């Protein structure tokens, strides 16, 4: 069985060694580096199933590494590590396409749970119940497997987290998805703050709504959650279409 390949980018040698040891004991193949420039080179040269990325790095920040990665790769899950209490960096990381974050100090058991949750969200599980992975909404065709939206202006990428949110909304279309369900299914049974979900929804509205300030398809149920309306399945033999 092929091992999943994880890149750990952390400049603290003690923490880096601890992360690598725990990941390897869980059966992952691990590569590590201590600075952002080296991380960017490794990501350009090789494929990783998950990136664990510290924000505060020498030579190039974790946010810069993430920004460069997402310019060419929208599907590799990224878990951010940050020692900052300021929520701004976390929100910016999510906006740039990170899937999750952990604030230092953290427990290794918690981190490993987040790692497994990230990998589950992007893996296709054997025996998973079938549902359509392509649908049309607001003049766009959404392809959840290709991580893209196709419209008259061309193709736009979806981050793994954006695709996961749309997948959940699509499976429950026309019904409200409570915030708690987003937390449980997409953030590994933990509360990460409403801003985490709201930030992703704002980004999705920019991609799918004619007027993001007055959404017609990704609607807010105040105090409850979100729902997707006006979406229809694309037949399996149809290609992506532009309006």
pTM: 0.58
Q: In the chain, pLDDT over 70 holds for what percent of residues? A: 86
Sheet containing strand 134-137, strands side by side: 154-157, 148-151, 140-143, 134-137, 232-233
Rounded Cα–Cα distance for residues 241 and 142 (Å): 10
Chain centroid, CA 98 distance in Å: 5
CB neighbours of residue 95 within 10 Å:
14
Beta strands in the chain (DSSP E): 5-9, 29-33, 50-54, 78-82, 100-103, 134-137, 140-143, 148-151, 154-157, 177-178, 218-221, 225-228, 232-233
pLDDT digits (tens, 9 = 90+) for 165-219: 999 899 888 888 888 888 777 776 554 556 778 889 999 999 999 999 999 999 9
Judged against a pLDDT cut of 60, whether residue 4 lies above it is answered with: yes
């Amino acid at each position: 069985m092929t091992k999943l390949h994880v890149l750990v980018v952390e400049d603290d040698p003690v923490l880096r060694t601890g992360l690598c040891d725990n990941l390897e004991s869980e059966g992952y193949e691990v590569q590590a580096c201590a600075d952002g420039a080296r991380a960017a080179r490794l990501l350009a040269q090789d494929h990783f199933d998950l990136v664990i990325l510290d924000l505060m790095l020498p030579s190039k920040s974790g946010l810069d590494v993430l920004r460069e990665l997402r310019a060419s790769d929208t599907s590799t899950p990224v878990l951010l590590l940050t020692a900052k209490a300021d929520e701004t960096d976390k929100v910016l990381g999510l906006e740039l396409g990170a899937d999750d974050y952990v604030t230092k100090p953290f427990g290794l058991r918690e981190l490993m749970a987040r790692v497994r949750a990230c990998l589950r969200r992007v893996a296709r599980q054997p025996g998973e119940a079938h549902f359509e992975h392509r649908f049309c909404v607001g003049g766009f065709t959404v392809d959840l497997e290709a991580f893209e939206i196709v419209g008259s202006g061309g193709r736009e990428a979806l981050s793994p987290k954006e695709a996961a949110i749309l997948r959940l909304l699509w499976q429950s279309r026309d019904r409200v998805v409570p915030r708690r369900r987003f937390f449980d299914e997409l953030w590994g049974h933990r509360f990460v703050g409403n801003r985490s979900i709201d930030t992703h929804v704002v980004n999705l509205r920019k991609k799918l709504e004619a007027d993001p300030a007055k959404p017609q398809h990704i609607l807010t149920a105040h105090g409850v959650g979100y729902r997707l309306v006006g979406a229809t399945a694309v037949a399996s033999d149809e290609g992506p279409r532009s309006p």
